[in-house]
Amino acid sequence: MGASIMKITAITPGQQDVSTIGKSSASTTGASFQEILAQELAAAKSPATTALAAASATAPIPAALRLDSLTLAEDTINTLGNFSTALGNPSFSAQDLEPFAAALEDETAALVSLKNQLPENNPLSALLERVATASYVEAAKLKRGDYHA
């Protein structure tokens, strides 16, 4: 387990609480996604009234980047949900679950790439980091054999 945490730290610096990610990622990540989505929508409608817009005044974030980031975060959360459902199905073998690991790894790389294009203090950057961490952890657990009897 210690090696896994070191890998996560290497990919997503600053992540501190990885112990509960696999157990409750849908509820904790989902709430953060909703908050960020609401902030992004508010920023698009009324840029002068949000802290995000104030930060973007010095370095505007392209709308396409925000949309891509939110879409990918939502897609990754859906993949995590589908993976969770597949884990609960006893008819799925380790080979049946392998495509989930591959998808999660690809989504993790894409999330990190998008995150690196955003300012560090941006709330969307924090969301992408959390979703990428959850995705990475679940793919690593599957590849390591944590979910196999």
pLDDT in tens, 88-145: 998 888 888 999 999 999 999 999 999 999 988 899 999 999 999 999 999 999 989 8
Q: What is the rounded average pLDDT of the residues 19-28?
A: 43
* Residue 99 resides in a domain: yes
Burial group, residue 128, by CB count within 10 angstroms (0-12, 13-18, 19+): buried
Query: pLDDT category, 20, cuts 50, 70, 90?
Result: very low
3-state SS class at 48? helix
The answer to whether residue 149 sits within a structural domain is no
Alpha carbon 4 to chain centroid distance?
17
Residue 40 lies in a domain: yes
Rounded CA separation 100/138 (Å): 9
- What local confidence, expressed as pLDDT, does residue 16 receive? 43
Structural domain harbouring 133: 2-144
Count of domains for the chain: 1
Establish if 6 belongs to a structural domain: yes
pLDDT at position 124, please? 93
pLDDT at residue 85, rounded to an integer: 93
Q: Give the Cα separation of 57 and 59 in Å (integer).
A: 6
Residues 6 or more apart from 30 whose CB is under 8 A from it?
A: 77
> Which carries the bigger pLDDT value, residue 47 or residue 128?
128
* 131, part of any domain: yes
Q: Is residue 106 part of a domain?
A: yes
> Is 101 contained in some domain?
yes
Residue 129 covered by a domain: yes
Question: Is 15 a residue whose pLDDT tops 70?
Answer: no
Residue 80 pLDDT > 60: yes
Is the distance from CB of 86 to CB of 92 less than 8 angstroms?
yes
The first and second tokens of residue 70, run together, are 């939110």
